[in-house]
């Protein structure tokens, strides 16, 4: 029996998406494939809310982050990096691996990144080239105030790069309206596709920075200028430099079509309703949320385990007895926190109710075991 995924990615996907993965493999060039590729890029642009360039790279969201950093920032440049969880720390590693110097705004994991701290740092340090932030810090469920952070970047005429791997398609993120210059994501979370694509969106202001980089890139594969060269020079038959995962792209196209047919605002509202249903049910069971609901993203909930109950015991019980997969917190919170993803078009209220009923069944067992 299939174990339903209630984790923060990859997510359950619709049958119409899975169907594309079982069809014969397509060639990654020629008229048909160019039309599929271009349509998928256009659909992604609508979800990002940008008229800028959008690239799909075979790989993960972390690969997209690597490509964005290598393409936008030069070695030796200093950028202001917000950290309030595990994935902020990953960005520190990505920046450092590319020779970019992160200047850290370090915030406790149960708090959002404060725009005023970024404003103050940029005011006293004109050498900072930009801001890098995680929109949804998946390790904690905290949704950082990207709109306000982008306004700070604009105020100081600096670029802002955002990690939207877990938030794109799940909560508002209109890139151009908010002034977000670079945004990276992946195919396997709120977009409703399957893992295999890193996605980078770049506006014109950021592309000027990319175009001004030295002509000797640090990577052949991750240089976005190379990807754009193929768009401009081979766009009529092969608008990318490598073999593309056609089945994954076809599945993503189907997921994006479903998302946009429902409508972004309607999808966001549905996620808000699922989040409220789950969080209310957890409260009824006596489980405290990791942070107040106002600080949480609508697609992910983190909650403290009952006293004396290990997260691993809850996770194993749900998987073995109810075929439901959730996950634990990160780092020091791993034994004490559970995280539930409610993202992707295949998740619904019945899934939330099944999870809550299973937790209600487990809690007396867990209390006795402890």
One domain for residues 248 and 181: yes
Report the distance separating Cα 344 and Cα 347, nearest Å: 6
Q: Which domain holds residue 313?
A: 4-8+263-369
One domain for residues 272 and 251: no
Q: What is the CATH number of the domain that holds 319?
A: 3.90.1150.10
Beta-carbon contacts of residue 232 (< 8 Å; ≥ 6 apart): none
For 128, the enclosing helix (H) or strand (E) is strand 128-134
**Final residue belonging to a domain, choices 260, 283, 318:** 260
Residue 137: count of CB within 10 angstroms of its CB: 29
Q: What is the pLDDT of residue 274?
A: 98
* CA-based R_g, the chain, Å: 21
One domain for residues 151 and 35: yes
Residues paired with residue 134 on neighbouring β-strands, in sequence order: 163
State pTM to two decimals. 0.97
The total number of structural domains in the chain stands at 2
pLDDT in tens, 216-250: 778 999 999 999 999 999 999 999 999 999 999 99
One domain for residues 152 and 254: yes
Q: What is the pLDDT of residue 364?
A: 76
One domain for residues 146 and 227: yes
Q: What is the pLDDT of residue 358?
A: 97
One domain for residues 252 and 278: no
Q: What is the pLDDT of residue 290?
A: 98
Give per-residue burial for 296-332: e unless 16+ CB within 10 Å, then b.
bbbbbbbbbbbeebbbebbbebbeeebebbbbbbbee
Q: Spell out the SS3 assignment of 271-306.
A: HHHHHHHHHHHHHHCCCCECCCHHHECCCEEEEECC
The torsion defined by the Cα of 109, 111, 114 and 118, in degrees rounded to 10, comes to: -10
**Final residue belonging to a domain, choices 242, 260, 278:** 260
CA nearest 348: which of 284, 282, 271? 271
Report the distance separating Cα 33 and Cα 26, nearest Å: 8
Q: What is the pLDDT of residue 108?
A: 98
- List the chain residues with pLDDT less than 70: 365-370
């Amino acid at each position: 029996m299939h174990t339903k995924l209630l984790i923060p990615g990859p997510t359950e996907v619709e049958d119409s998406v899975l169907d594309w993965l079982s069809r014969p493999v397509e060639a990654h060039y020629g008229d048909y494939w160019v039309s599929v590729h271009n349509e998928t890029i256009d659909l992604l642009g609508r979800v990002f809310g940008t008229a800028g360039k959008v690239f799909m790279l075979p790989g993960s969201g972390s690969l997209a982050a690597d490509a964005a950093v290598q393409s936008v920032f030069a070695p030796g440049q200093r950028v202001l990096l917000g950290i309030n969880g595990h994935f902020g720390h990953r960005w520190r590693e990505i920046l450092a691996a590319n020779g970019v110097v992160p200047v850290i705004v370090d915030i406790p994991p149960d708090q959002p990144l404060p725009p005023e701290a970024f404003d103050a740092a940029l005011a006293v340090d004109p050498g900072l080239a930009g801001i890098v932030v995680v929109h949804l810090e998946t390790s904690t469920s905290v949704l950082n105030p990207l709109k306000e952070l982008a306004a700070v970047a604009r105020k100081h005429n600096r670029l802002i790069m955002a990690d939207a791997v877990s938030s794109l398609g799940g909560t508002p993120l209109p890139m151009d309206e908010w002034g977000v210059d670079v945004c990276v994501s992946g195919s396997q979370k709120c977009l409703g596709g399957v893992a295999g694509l890193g996605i980078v969106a770049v506006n014109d202001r950021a592309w000027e920075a990319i175009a001004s980089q030295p002509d000797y890139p640090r990577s052949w594969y991750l240089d976005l200028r190379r990807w754009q060269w193929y768009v401009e020079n081979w766009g009529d038959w092969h608008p990318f430099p490598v073999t593309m995962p056609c089945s994954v792209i076809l599945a993503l196209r189907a997921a994006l079509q479903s998302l946009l047919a429902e409508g972004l605002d309607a999808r966001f509202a549905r996620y808000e309703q699922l989040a409220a249903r789950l969080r209310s049910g957890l409260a009824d069971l006596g489980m405290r949320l990791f942070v107040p609901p106002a600080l949480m993203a609508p697609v992910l909930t983190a909650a403290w385990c009952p006293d004396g109950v290990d997260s691993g015991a809850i996770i194993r019980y749900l998987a073995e007895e109810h075929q439901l997969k959730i996950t634990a917190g990160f780092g020091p919170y791993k034994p004490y926190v559970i995280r539930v993803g409610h993202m992707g078009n295949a998740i619904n209220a019945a899934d939330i109710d099944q999870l809550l009923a299973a937790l209600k069944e487990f809690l007396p067992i867990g209390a006795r075991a402890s």
